C-alpha cells in the first residue's frame, strides 16, 4: 500500500509531500515519482530525496492509452494504491481513471471552478481578482472539475506580479497539500458518493 506522486515541473510540492511523509504518523509511504517530462527539475529532487522515479515520455507512445498502460504496469508492480498529482500538466485518461477511481487527487493554484487549466496564476492576475487561492480535489475525467476536498484563499495585493503571487500560493500549497493527503490516507476524507 503506497503512494505515487505525478509531476511535470519543478517539484516543490513533491518535495513538501516527501518531507512530510517522513514523519512518524504518516501511514502510507511515497514510493514512486512519475514524471512525463525529460529534464524536469522534479527528477533531480527525487534523486536527492531517495525516491525512485519513472520517467515516461508521452512522445514515445502512439496513444494516451498506451502511455498510461506503461505507467499502470509499473504502478501495479509496486503495489501503488493512490495517485497524488503535484503539478502534473496532463489530463488523466480512462486507463488510469478506471484503475484508480476516486484514488487520484490533484492540487490546483486557484479557487476552482475559477481559472481551471494552465496558468491559473496568470489568469487570476489578468482577470484582476482580489482573492485567489488553492484547491485540492478528487480527479475525474474533466479538466480540474472533480469533487473539491479543500480550499484556501490567498489575497492578491496591489503590486503583486506573477512571481510574488506564485510564491504566496505555493507557500499555502506546501502546507495544505501534505495535511490534506495525511487526512485522506488516514481515512478522514470519504470518497465522493453517488458520482
Ligand atoms: C503548483 O502550483 C500546482 O498547483 C500547479 O503547478 C504547480 C507545480 O509546482 N498545478 C497546476 O496548475 C495543475 N493544473 P511544483 O512543480 O513546484 O510543485
Q: Distance of alpha carbon 122 from its chain centroid, rounded? A: 19
Q: Which domain holds residue 145?
A: 2-185
Asked if residue 146 is part of any domain, the answer here is: yes
CATH at 144: 3.40.50.170
Identify which of 6, 7, 16, 108 to mutate to test ligand 1's pocket (most ligand atoms within 8 A of the CB). 108
* pTM for the model: 0.97
Q: Mean pLDDT, to the nearest integer, of 55-83?
A: 98
**Using one digit for the tens of pLDDT, what is the confidence trace for 54-63?**
999 999 999 9
CA 61 to ligand 1 centroid distance, Å: 24
**Using one digit for the tens of pLDDT, what is the confidence trace for 7-35?**
999 999 999 999 999 999 999 999 999 99
8 A C-beta contact, residue 10 and residue 37:
no
ipTM over 0.90: yes
Q: Mean pLDDT, to the nearest integer, of 190-194?
A: 80
Q: DSSP assignment of 151-164, as one string?
A: EEEEE--TT--HHH
Asked if residue 153 is part of any domain, the answer here is: yes
pLDDT of residue 195: 62
Identify which of 16, 36, 86 to mutate to test ligand 1's pocket (most ligand atoms within 8 A of the CB). 86
Place of cell 504518516: 26
Amino acid at each position: 500500500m503506497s503512494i505515487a506522486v505525478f509531476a511535470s515541473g519543478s517539484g516543490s510540492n513533491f518535495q513538501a509531500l516527501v518531507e512530510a511523509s517522513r514523519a512518524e504518523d504518516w501511514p502510507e509511504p511515497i514510493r514512486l515519482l512519475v514524471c512525463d517530462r525529460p529534464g524536469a527539475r522534479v527528477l533531480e529532487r527525487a534523486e536527492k530525496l531517495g525516491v525512485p522515479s519513472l520517467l515516461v515520455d508521452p512522445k514515445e507512445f502512439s496513444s494516451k492509452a498506451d502511455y498510461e498502460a506503461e505507467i499502470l504496469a509499473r504502478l501495479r508492480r509496486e503495489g501503488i494504491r493512490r495517485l497524488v498529482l503535484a503539478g502534473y500538466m496532463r489530463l488523466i485518461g480512462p486507463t488510469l481513471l478506471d484503475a484508480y477511481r476516486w484514488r487520484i487527487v490533484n492540487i490546483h493554484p486557484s479557487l476552482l471552478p475559477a481559472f481551471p487549466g494552465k496558468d491559473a496564476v496568470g489568469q487570476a492576475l489578468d482577470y484582476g481578482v482580489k482573492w485567489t487561492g488553492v484547491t485540492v480535489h478528487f480527479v475525474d475525467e474533466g479538466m480540474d472539475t472533480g469533487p473539491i476536498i479543500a480550499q484556501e484563499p490567498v489575497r492578491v495585493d496591489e503590486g503583486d506580479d506573477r512571481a510574488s503571487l506564485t510564491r504566496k500560493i505555493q507557500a499555502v500549497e506546501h502546507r495544505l497539500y501534505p495535511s490534506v493527503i495525511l487526512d485522506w490516507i488516514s481515512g478522514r476524507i470519504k470518497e465522493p458518493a453517488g458520482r
